[in-house]
C-alpha cells in the first residue's frame, strides 16, 4: 500500500481537528502501516509517530525536492531514522517538475545540511543507499535489486565525469580522501546524460555476444576458485 502523509503543518492540524490524532496515529488506528506500506513525506512527525512507523515496519519515501518546492519543510524522520527504511522519491510532476532521482539525491543532501545547519550531514553514501538499496527494500525488491551482489539483477548506472565540467574530483569524503560518490551527488545534472539501456529484453545493444562470452570465459579462467581456496 502507498500513501502520502504528514506533509504539511496544516495536514497535521486538520487531522487533529477531525480525528483527534496526528496523521500517522490515525493511519495506525485504521491498520494501514505495516511492512507492505510505503508512506511518502513524513515531514511533520512527533516521536510517537516515528515509533509507530518503526514498530510496524512501515517504509518512508523521502521527497526532498517536493518538500522544498511546496515549502513543506525538512522531513524529521531523516534525522531520527530509528531503523525505518527510507527510500528516495520524487513525489509527482507538479510538485517537483522532474522525476530525476540523481537530482533528488543532491537535494536530499543539501536539505539535510541547511535544515541542521551542519555541513557534515547529508552523507553522500547514506543518500546513495536511500536512492538504491533502501528504495528497493521499501518496495520489497531488495532481494532482486538495489545493490550489486551475486544473484541480483545487474542494474548499473555508469557516469562519465569527463562530461561534467563542475565535477568536484577532489570532493573530500569522511576520511579526507577524494570521494567519487560525494562528487556524483554534488554534480548530478551533467552526469545524468549518460543514462543508456545496454541490455533490454536480454539483448545486448552494444556488445557482440559471442565475443563477449569468449572474453568473459577468459576472465573467469584468471579468477581463482574462491570456494576451493576457502576449503583449503
Ligand atoms: Zn505527495
Give the whole-number percent of the chain exceeding pLDDT 90.
52
pLDDT at 82 over 70: yes
Residue-wise pLDDT tens digits, 35-52: 999 999 999 999 999 999
Cα 128 to ligand 1 centroid, rounded to whole Å: 21
For the question of whether the overall pTM of this predicted structure is more than 0.85, the answer is no
Q: Residue 46 phi/psi, 5° resolution?
A: -95, 175
Cα 203 to ligand 1 centroid, rounded to whole Å: 37
Q: Tell me, what's the pLDDT at 161?
A: 62
The architecture of the domain spanning 1-146 is: Alpha-Beta Barrel (3.20)
Q: Assess contact for 171 and 203: CB atoms under 8 A.
A: no
CA distance 108 to 78: 10
Cα 90 to ligand 1 centroid, rounded to whole Å: 9
Structure-block grid coordinates of residue 203: 539483448
How far is Cα of residue 180 from the mean position of the Cα atoms in its chain?
Answer: 17
Residue-wise pLDDT tens digits, 158-205: 666 665 555 555 566 667 777 778 777 776 655 544 456 666 666 666
Q: Across the chain, where does the E strand assignment appear?
A: 2-5, 38-41, 59-62, 86-88
CA distance 209 to 7: 49
Any idea which residue has 506533509 for its cell?
A: 7
> Which comes out higher in pLDDT, residue 11 or 189?
11
Confidence of residue 229 (pLDDT cuts 50, 70, 90): very low
CA distance 87 to 76: 14
Cα 48 to ligand 1 centroid, rounded to whole Å: 22
Cα 187 to ligand 1 centroid, rounded to whole Å: 26
The domain ranges of the chain are: 1-146, 157-232
Cα 189 to ligand 1 centroid, rounded to whole Å: 23
Cα 111 to ligand 1 centroid, rounded to whole Å: 17
pLDDT at 29 over 70: yes
Cα 96 to ligand 1 centroid, rounded to whole Å: 10
Q: Is 27 helix (H, G, I), strand (E, B) or coil?
A: helix
Which of 65, 174, 62 has the alpha carbon at shortest distance from 110? 65
Structure-block grid coordinates of residue 50: 516515528
Amino acid at each position: 500500500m502507498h500513501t502520502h502523509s504528514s506533509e504539511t503543518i496544516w495536514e497535521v492540524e486538520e487531522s487533529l481537528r477531525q480525528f483527534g490524532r496526528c496523521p500517522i496515529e490515525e493511519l495506525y488506528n485504521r491498520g494501514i502501516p505495516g511492512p507492505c506500506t510505503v508512506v511518502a513525506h513524513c515531514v511533520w512527525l512527533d516521536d510517537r509517530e516515528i515509533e509507530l512507523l518503526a514498530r510496524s515496519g512501515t517504509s518512508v519515501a523521502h521527497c526532498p525536492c517536493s518538500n522544498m518546492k511546496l515549502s513543506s519543510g525538512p522531513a524529521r524522520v531523516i534525522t531520527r531514522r530509528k531503523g525505518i527504511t527510507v527510500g528516495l522519491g520524487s513525489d509527482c510532476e507538479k510538485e517537483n517538475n522532474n522525476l530525476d532521482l540523481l537530482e533528488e539525491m543532491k537535494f536530499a543532501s543539501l536539505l539535510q545540511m541547511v535544515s541542521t545547519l551542519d555541513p557534515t550531514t547529508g552523507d553522500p553514501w547514506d543518500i546513495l543507499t536511500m536512492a538504491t538499496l533502501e528504495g528497493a527494500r521499501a518496495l520489497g525488491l531488495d532481494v532482486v535489486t538495489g545493490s550489486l551482489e551475486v544473484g541480483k539483477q545487474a542494474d548499473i548506472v555508469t557516469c562519465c565525469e569527463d562530461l561534467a565540467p563542475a565535477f568536484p574530483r577532489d570532493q573530500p569524503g569522511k576520511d579526507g580522501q577524494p570521494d567519487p560518490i560525494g562528487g556524483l551527488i554534488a554534480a548530478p545534472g551533467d552526469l545524468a546524460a549518460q543514462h543508456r539501456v545496454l541490455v533490454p529484453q536480454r539483448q545486448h545493444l552494444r556488445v557482440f555476444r559471442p565475443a563477449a562470452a569468449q572474453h568473459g570465459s577468459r576472465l573467469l579462467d584468471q579468477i581463482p576458485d574462491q570456494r576451493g581456496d576457502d576449503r583449503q
